[in-house]
A and B are shown apart, each in its own frame.
Chain A
Amino acid sequence: MTSHRAEPIAVHAEALTRCFDDPHRDDTTVAVDQLTLSVHHGEVFGLLGHNGAGKTTTIRMLNGVLAPTRGKLRVLGYDPTEEGAILRRHTGVLTETPSLDEKLTAWENLTIYGRLYGVDELDLRARVGDLLEDFELDTRAREMVGAYSKGMKQRLALARALLHRPSLIFLDEPTGGLDPVATRQVHALITRLSRRGGHTFVLCTHNLLEAQRLCHRVAVMEHGRLVAVGEPATLARDLWQGVRLEIELDPGPLTGVPLPPEVRDLAWDEEGHVLSLWLPQRDDVPDLVAALVNAGRRIYQVAPQEPTLEDVYFALHEASLGEEGA
């Protein structure tokens, strides 16, 4: 089920907007506001944001189950608003809650959804069996899903999303509420599928470590608006120029050491062995090391610290709050 309209871009949204009437306040809430982004074939694309940032609403619009209020949208070459049913034959969705029928067995859950996704009856039995084995659920395939652990349910829901071999997979908080072991299993599955090729992922998460580990590019959303989009490293470079260093050296004050004048954010760790600081340019690093050595300090290690996605996210978040305050 991978033949869809061949276009280089898997998802293209332009000024996508969705408003909801709020009957309690006699008002309208803008859940997604002028969202413009593109997702390339084969990439793992992260949608980051707090709860209520508009991530789930975006996925619903991208998959043609929720009509946008305004904006243009193409997904796998289809217009989700007009061709939703056809589009959904090529997409798989892991919803925020596993959305499984707990009074049915794992086998029944997958078989029923296989039929709804149009999987050929001859292929269905083998496909369901293979997936249950792949996701290590085969030994409990005939048990009611209600008896499953959270991790098992999540794995089954992920198996269901892959059942019809979709080319575009939406994952809405795929590890929400999972323990570390189950989280690692889900991450490994996504990485394996991504490396195997042929799949594009749109991953909604507020787990920044997860996004950093899995996503090629991320979009940060705040109150329905797109704050930034790009590779995590690029976003970091855009936000912070210069370099953050951690230097392990013998303890002692830095008095008498001729530090470059632009050095900032000097701080020692609790034991007084590791000095962290920020330099405006990479070229300042050898000068700093030379100054320390010349001052008679013994250096054991110099490690550049790349900003994490978490740093990026919170910097963008604070910037966004600042803009709102202004």
Chain B
Amino acid sequence: MSDSGRPGRMIAINWRTLRTLASRDLKVVTRSKAMMLPMVIVPLIFVVALPAAVGLFAPQMAASGEMEDLASFLEMMPASMRESFAGYNEAQVIVVALLEHFFAPMFLIIPVMVASTIAAGSFAGEKERKTLEALLHTPTTDTELFLGKLLASWVPAFTVGLSAFVLYALVVNLSAWQVMGGLFFPNATWVTLVLWLAPAAAGVGLGTMILVSSKVNSFQDAYQLGSLVVLPVILLVFGQLAGVLYLNVLTVLAIGLFLWLVDAVILWFGIRTFKRSEIIARL
């Protein structure tokens, strides 16, 4: 069908349609407890509970003398990064190592998870709620439908990511105030991570999830299949733990660039292959 965005044809995008599709999905998501709970609880654990515990209990951890794991983590760091610990006492090293370095890749889980959760519900959730058929009968083009669903997941993922970052900055600075003796967060790596890498990672997660969601029949199926997109983030966490990859401004920029390219490929592939005719045939 031509309105599926056939390659080689100019596709006119109606921005009002895109905004409407995205705001409709957002309204539905924000009114669903089942979807909102994980999107609130998981970020709260990552940006409030864990960093607050580290900030508040760093002196006790330093005093306990059990620093072997952290010491090996620091030893494996590139020399240039290790320099950032110069002049810090043990408690401060714990705070900076954990809150600035160790938690950085874990933070990516938040936008990826938010994007994936909303995207999983995009088509599969609509099939379950039996709201999809009327939507497919509207004059929206296939491209608008795909992009609208993309926006509906990407905008909240970016917004939640940014809000979580602000909250994280507040929590770490406040909880570690006594240890650090003032403001120490964020650094350039985190700012690059939040503004450059996180939105790209969210894009990969939701793009994959929307394509999966359009092919399966239930939110659960989509979520289970699509949750594999969190794997690269977990690899980043373990990569850093194993001393293979450390996040600094340069690596964050490079990984971000790679993910933006993957986003572009997913977008291109999605626009070419996303067809309402195939979705409705499975209803």
Contact = CB atoms under 8 A, between A and B. Distances in A.
Interface in A79-94: 81-89, 91, 93
A240 interface: no
B27 A116 contact: no
Contacts of A160: 134
Interface stretch (A101-109, A226-234, A297-305, A311-319): A101-109
A155 to B, nearest CB: 15
A103 B32 contact: yes
A118 B12 CA distance: 14
B224 to A, nearest CB: 20
Nearest to A100: B131
B276 to A, nearest CB: 6
Nearest to A87: B139
Nearest to A90: B139
Given A60-B280, A81-B2, A88-B139, A99 B134 contact: yes
A93 B3 contact: no
A70 interface: no
A-B pairs, top 9 by smallest CB distance, nearest first, are A99-B134, A88-B139, A85-B3, A115-B20, A93-B137, A103-B31, A116-B138, A89-B139, A82-B2
A305 to B, nearest CB: 41
A81, A83, A88, A91: residue with the most chain B Cβ atoms closer than 10 Å: A88
Contacts of B136: 65
Given A116-B17, A116-B140, 9 more contacts: A65-B277, A65-B280, A66-B281, A97-B130, A102-B129, A103-B27, A104-B28, A104-B31, A115-B17
B24 A112 contact: yes
Nearest to A104: B27
A99 B28 contact: no
Interface residues of A, number: 37
A42 B210 CA distance: 41
Contact of A67 (B24, B134, B139, B277): B277
Contacts of B139: 85-89, 116-118
A20 interface: yes
A85 B134 CA distance: 14
A63 interface: yes
Contacts of A103: 27-28, 31-32
Given A65-B277, A103-B27, A115 B134 contact: no
Contact of B129 (A66, A101, A112): A101
Interface residues of B, number: 31
B99 to A, nearest CB: 38
A116 B134 CA distance: 11
Q: For chain B, what secondary structure do more than half of its interface residues adopt (helix, strand, loop), or is it mixed?
A: helix
B98 interface: no
Contacts of A157: 134
Nearest to B21: A116
A100 B126 CA distance: 10
Nearest to A114: B20
A60 to B, nearest CB: 6
B147 to A, nearest CB: 14
Residue from the set B3, B24, B129, B139 with the largest chain A CB neighbour count within 10 Å? B139
A78 to B, nearest CB: 11
27 contacts: A20-B281, A64-B1, A64-B3, A65-B136, A65-B280, A66-B280, A67-B1, A81-B1, A82-B1, A83-B3, A84-B1, A84-B2, A85-B3, A85-B141, A87-B139, A88-B137, A88-B139, A89-B139, A99-B131, A99-B133, A101-B27, A103-B27, A104-B27, A104-B31, A113-B134, A116-B17, A116-B20
B212 to A, nearest CB: 18
A108 B139 CA distance: 18
A276 interface: no
Nearest to B143: A85
A102 B255 CA distance: 41
Nearest to B277: A67
Interface in A111-145: 112-113, 115-118
Contacts of A82: 1-2
B191 interface: no
Contact of B131 (A60, A84, A101, A116): A101
B97 interface: no
A108 B130 contact: no
B281 to A, nearest CB: 6
B241 interface: no
A93 B134 contact: yes
A31 to B, nearest CB: 9
A20 B129 CA distance: 24
Interface in B14-41: 14, 16-17, 20-21, 23-24, 27-28, 31-32
A154 B244 CA distance: 60
A13 B125 CA distance: 34
Most buried by A among B1, B17, B138: B138
Nearest to A82: B2
A317 B21 CA distance: 44
A205 interface: no
